């Protein structure tokens, strides 16, 4: 019996010595290096430690790891994929009896992570795969209750984007986001902030999410909120990602604002138009294939905007949109054509657009010269419907509604159709642009129907007295990379006509230099003058538009014109002549000449003909003063226009309804009214 007791005591002593020895070796540098070698074999990349483990022994021991590093693959450079200053965990040994390795928390101190991705490989390949064996390879089930990060940093470079990120990461207790939690605290939420760039476009961000462990839960949506800013463009929102690490569903309430939607092209890879500053709110969703921004509303420039937008990434990218504006400020559309919006007090414009406006104000040119960005039109298919219910137009032009349907097919752009309500009538047509060619090729066709001329001119200080309705048609083919180049190359025709109407007699008389009749009508009242017809026809050839025919036939006077408008040089030279129908004292059929650049027009009344008549009147006045009025007596042209008006109106109606290409104009009826003078 005594020998048995001695034997049992010896065995117990040996067990105690072994346990003490194991505990001592577990806290040795040798044991730490042993574990590192085992981890290197599992991860198939080098794991290094600098020191020994520190263990507070109990049934729930606290284990502290020394500094360690996990190498990147050789192609990714010498910087480790992971470097830890320290790590700490608490293990519940009692759970081992249930086949579970239970870690009550894992705390990482100053982790530094370097991740790289190239077209065919990434630095984390082989580390994210799941264990395919059903029994877990004989290892206990790993259970982690909480993960904490203190002063973390992530560096990420993706050559496929190209994208670079420098991210500061940490976790904070849910109960108090402003204080550091202790080692025994509960679940913590993740916070990341930093800066980066995509395609060279810099940005910064600040995001807050759920717990770090929840990032790996593919069954539950992961909550996230925060903001991203690139220069003056800002996106702010809150929502969920599911699953968090490779989202197939994104659901966000989003607020975005910035100086120009086009600024997002580089950052997000989405082709958006040049517009004034915007501020929009809506609901963003991604379902793995389609991005949608639904039910958004807000402001673009001085216009309101609401609707739905959907984008399907791919080759080509597909964009659809249904947009509505209750009040459209027309100048907000000018950036689409290379011109800045208005920049006067009370108008909304980005700083770059204000600078562009200042530069153009100092420029003698009027037509926008900015070239379109072809890159935004390539590899994109788009269909956009837009309705502007009320319109604020320059100089109170009575635009009542704007509608268009935009279609883009990988560089081929069209507005088909577009429609403007104006002056009680409408202007509609199509605009097509083929940007796959260099220079771009374009075509414009438009028809004007029943537009009230009085409404159209109400803000131009024209004497009131009533006008008729006008109709017309415009056809134009052009080439060029800007509005200026397009008009400078234009071939086509413009036709405007009015079959009948009423116009203030003083206006008509003054336009014809009928000074005597104008004075009589001004002081004794002349009332409105009946317009029997009005007809304007211009043809353009390579940007040079010629006035082919111009006639305003009234009961008192005929106005004719001739001349040219050089759209390329932005200059014009036009002569107008008035022919009173009845004999009139003080009238002159000498022309009024309009000449100069678009930005600086000149009106010349004292033409060579008028000076010659004045000289003759002066000479005659020296001999017989009463005869000095003879050079200014006009005998009148008589009443011979009715058949001319009928022919012009018939032709004009046919053209307005069916269209007429310039080379298909055919024979035109000759006017019996006095011919317009040739432009000097």
Residue 481: strand pairing partners: none
What pLDDT is stored for residue 344 in this prediction?
Answer: 73
Phi-psi region at 76: left, alpha or beta (left = phi > 0; alpha = psi -120 to 50) = alpha
Q: Are 329 and 304 in contact (CB under 8 A)?
A: no
310 in any annotated domain: no
Q: 0.85 cut: is pTM over it? A: no
Q: Are 239 and 286 in contact (CB under 8 A)?
A: no
Residue 645 or residue 65, greater confidence: 65
Query: CB pairs under 8 A, 24+ apart, for 130-139?
Result: 139/101
Q: Are 201 and 219 in contact (CB under 8 A)?
A: no
Residue 343 has pLDDT above 80, yes or no: no
Residue 47 or residue 620, greater confidence: 47
Residue 104 or residue 632, greater confidence: 104
Residue range 353-372, pLDDT digits in tens: 777 667 666 655 556 666 66
SS3 312: strand
Q: Are 403 and 387 in contact (CB under 8 A)?
A: yes
55 in any annotated domain: yes
Most confident of 158-167, 503-512, 545-554: 158-167
What pLDDT is stored for residue 464 in this prediction?
Answer: 52
Q: How many domains does the chain have?
A: 2
CA distance 605 to 611: 10
Give the angle 17-18-23 at the CA atoms, nearest 5°: 100
CA distance 204 to 165: 9
Residue range 322-334, pLDDT digits in tens: 999 999 888 887 7
Pair type for strands 328-329 and 112-117: unpaired
CA distance 250 to 247: 7
What pLDDT is stored for residue 1 in this prediction?
Answer: 46
Domain termination residue (choose one: 200, 216, 232): 216
Phi-psi region at 363: left, alpha or beta (left = phi > 0; alpha = psi -120 to 50) = beta
Residue 619 has pLDDT above 60, yes or no: no
CA distance 248 to 86: 35
Residue 595: strand pairing partners: 573, 602
Residue 5 or residue 401, greater confidence: 401
Residue 663 has pLDDT above 60, yes or no: no
φ/ψ of residue 655, rounded to 5: -65, -45
Residue range 40-56, pLDDT digits in tens: 888 888 999 998 888 88
- Closest CA relative to residue 243, chosen from 261, 224, 256, 258: 224
195 in any annotated domain: yes
What pLDDT is stored for residue 601 in this prediction?
Answer: 61
Residue 613 has pLDDT above 80, yes or no: no
CA–centroid distance for 469 within its chain? 37
Please give the DSSP secondary-structure letter assigned to residue 423: T
597 in any annotated domain: yes
Tally of CB atoms within 10 A around 678: 9
CA distance 665 to 491: 13
What pLDDT is stored for residue 292 in this prediction?
Answer: 93
233 in any annotated domain: no
255 in any annotated domain: no
CA distance 668 to 442: 28
Question: By percentage, how much of the chain surpasses pLDDT 90?
Answer: 23
Q: Identify the band that residue 90 occupies on the pLDDT scale cut at 50, 70 and 90.
A: very high
SS3 364: coil
What pLDDT is stored for residue 237 in this prediction?
Answer: 95
CA distance 637 to 529: 17
Peptide bond preceding 375 in cis form (omega within 30 of 0): no
Residue 456: strand pairing partners: none
- Closest CA relative to residue 113, chosen from 162, 157, 64, 80: 80
φ/ψ of residue 454, rounded to 5: -65, -45
Q: Are 497 and 649 in contact (CB under 8 A)?
A: yes
Tally of CB atoms within 10 A around 448: 23
Domain that residue 512 falls in = 437-664
**Among positive and negative, which fits the CA dihedral 248, 249, 252, 255?**
positive
Q: Are 560 and 576 in contact (CB under 8 A)?
A: yes
Tokens (6 digits) for 368: 């926008």
Domain termination residue (choose one: 191, 216, 241): 216
CA distance 578 to 514: 8
What pLDDT is stored for residue 660 in this prediction?
Answer: 47
Residue range 4-27, pLDDT digits in tens: 444 444 455 454 555 555 666 777
Domain termination residue (choose one: 182, 216, 250): 216
Task: Cite the DSSP H helix spans in 318-401.
Answer: 351-362
What pLDDT is stored for residue 620 in this prediction?
Answer: 41
Residue range 566-608, pLDDT digits in tens: 888 888 888 877 777 655 544 455 567 777 777 666 655 545 5
201 in any annotated domain: yes
The alpha carbon torsion through 99, 101, 104, 109 (nearest 10 deg) reads -170
φ/ψ of residue 615, rounded to 5: -65, -40
What pLDDT is stored for residue 584 in this prediction?
Answer: 54
φ/ψ of residue 340, rounded to 5: -75, 155
Q: Identify the band that residue 395 occupies on the pLDDT scale cut at 50, 70 and 90.
A: low
The crossing angle, in degrees rounded to 10, of helices 2-26 and 29-43 is 70
What pLDDT is stored for residue 337 in this prediction?
Answer: 66
Q: Identify the band that residue 671 occupies on the pLDDT scale cut at 50, 70 and 90.
A: very low
Q: Which residues, other chains included, contact 615 with Cβ-Cβ below 8 Å and sequence gap of 6+?
A: none
CA distance 312 to 671: 59
Question: By percentage, how much of the chain surpasses pLDDT 70?
Answer: 69
DSSP string spanning 140-155? PEEEE--EEEESEEEE
Residue 498 has pLDDT above 70, yes or no: yes
CA–centroid distance for 11 within its chain? 83
**Helix (H) and strand (E) counts in the chain:** 10, 39
DSSP string spanning 195-225? EEEETTEEEEEEEEEEETGGGG-SSSPEEEE
What pLDDT is stored for residue 160 in this prediction?
Answer: 86
Q: Which residues, other chains included, contact 518 with Cβ-Cβ below 8 Å and sequence gap of 6+?
A: 506, 509, 510
Residue 515 has pLDDT above 50, yes or no: no
What pLDDT is stored for residue 368 in this prediction?
Answer: 60
Please give the DSSP secondary-structure letter assigned to residue 447: E
Residue with tokens 């060029």: 480
Tokens (6 digits) for 676: 């317009």
Residue range 183-224, pLDDT digits in tens: 444 568 999 999 999 888 999 999 999 988 888 788 889 999
531 in any annotated domain: yes
Please give the DSSP secondary-structure letter assigned to residue 122: B
Q: Are 676 and 562 in contact (CB under 8 A)?
A: yes
Residue range 135-179, pLDDT digits in tens: 545 567 888 888 899 999 999 999 988 899 999 999 988 654 444
Residue range 113-125, pLDDT digits in tens: 999 999 888 888 8
Residue with tokens 């305003």: 552
What pLDDT is stored for residue 569 in this prediction?
Answer: 82
Please give the mean pLDDT across all residues of the chain. Answer: 76
Integer CA distances (angstroms), 364 to 331, 349, 484, 599, in order: 20, 22, 13, 6
């Amino acid at each position: 019996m005594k020998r048995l007791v001695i034997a049992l005591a010896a065995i117990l002593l040996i067990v105690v010595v072994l346990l003490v020895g194991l505990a001592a070796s577990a806290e040795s540098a040798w044991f730490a290096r042993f574990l590192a070698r085992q981890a290197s074999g599992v991860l198939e990349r080098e794991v290094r430690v600098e020191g020994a483990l520190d263990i507070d022994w109990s049934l729930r021991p606290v284990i502290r790891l020394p500094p360690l590093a996990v190498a990147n693959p050789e192609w990714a450079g010498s910087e480790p994929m992971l470097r830890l200053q320290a790590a700490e965990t608490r293990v519940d040994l009692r759970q081992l009896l249930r086949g579970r390795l239970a870690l009550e928390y894992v705390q990482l101190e100053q982790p530094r992570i370097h991740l790289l991705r190239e077209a065919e490989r990434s630095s984390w390949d082989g580390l994210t795969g799941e264990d395919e064996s059903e029994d877990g390879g004989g290892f206990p089930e790993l259970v982690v209750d909480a993960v904490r990060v203190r002063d973390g940093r992530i560096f990420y470079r993706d050559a496929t984007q190209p994208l670079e990120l420098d991210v500061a990461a940490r976790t904070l207790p849910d109960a108090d986001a402003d204080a550091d939690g202790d080692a025994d605290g509960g679940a913590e939420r993740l916070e990341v902030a930093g800066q980066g760039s995509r395609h060279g476009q810099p940005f910064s961000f600040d995001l807050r999410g759920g717990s770090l462990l929840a990032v790996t839960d593919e069954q539950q949506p992961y909550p996230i909120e925060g903001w991203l800013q690139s220069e003056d463009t800002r996106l702010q929102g809150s929502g969920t990602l599911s699953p968090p690490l490779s989202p197939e569903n994104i659901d966000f309430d989003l607020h975005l604002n910035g100086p120009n939607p086009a600024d997002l092209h580089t950052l997000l890879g989405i082709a958006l138009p040049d517009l004034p500053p915007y501020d929009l709110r809506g609901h963003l969703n991604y379902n793995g294939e389609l991005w949608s921004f639904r039910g958004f509303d807000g402001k673009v420039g001085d216009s309101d905007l609401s609707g739905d937008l959907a984008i399907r990434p791919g080759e080509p990218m597909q964009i659809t949109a249904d947009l509505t504006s209750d009040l459209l400020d027309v100048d907000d559309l000018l950036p689409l054509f290379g011109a800045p919006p208005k920049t006067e007090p009370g108008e909304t414009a980005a700083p770059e657009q204000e600078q562009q406006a200042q530069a153009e104000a100092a420029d003698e040119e009027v037509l926008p010269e900015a070239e379109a960005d072809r890159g935004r039109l390539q590899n994109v298919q788009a269909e956009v419907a837009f309705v502007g219910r009320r319109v604020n137009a320059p100089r109170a032009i009575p635009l009542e509604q704007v509608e268009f349907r935009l279609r883009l097919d990988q560089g081929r752009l069209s507005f088909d159709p577009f429609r403007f309500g104006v002056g009680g009538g409408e202007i509609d047509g199509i605009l097509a642009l083929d940007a796959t060619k260099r220079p771009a090729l374009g075509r414009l066709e438009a028809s004007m129907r029943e537009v009230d001329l009085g409404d159209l001119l109400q803000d131009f200080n024209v004497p009131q007295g009533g006008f008729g309705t006008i109709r017309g048609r415009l056809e134009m083919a052009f080439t060029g990379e800007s509005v200026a180049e397009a008009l400078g190359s234009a071939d086509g025709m413009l036709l405007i006509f009015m079959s009948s109407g009423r116009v203030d007699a003083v206006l008509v008389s003054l336009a014809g230099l009928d000074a005597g009749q104008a004075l009589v009508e001004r002081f004794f009242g002349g009332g409105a003058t009946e317009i029997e017809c009005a007809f304007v026809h211009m043809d353009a050839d390579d940007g040079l538009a010629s006035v082919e025919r111009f006639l305003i036939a009234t009961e008192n006077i005929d106005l004719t014109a001739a001349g040219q408008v050089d759209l390329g040089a932005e200059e014009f030279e036009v002569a107008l002549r008035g022919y009173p129908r009845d004999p009139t004292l003080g009238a002159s059929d000498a022309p009024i000449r309009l000449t100069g650049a678009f930005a600086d027009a000149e009106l010349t009344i004292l033409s060579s003909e008028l000076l010659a008549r004045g000289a003759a009147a002066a000479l005659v006045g020296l001999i017989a003063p009463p005869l000095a009025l003879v050079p200014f007596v006009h005998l009148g042209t008589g009443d011979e226009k009715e058949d001319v008006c009928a022919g012009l109106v018939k032709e004009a109606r046919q053209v307005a309804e069916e269209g007429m290409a310039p080379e298909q104009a055919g024979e035109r009826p000759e006017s019996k009214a006095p011919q317009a003078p040739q432009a000097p």
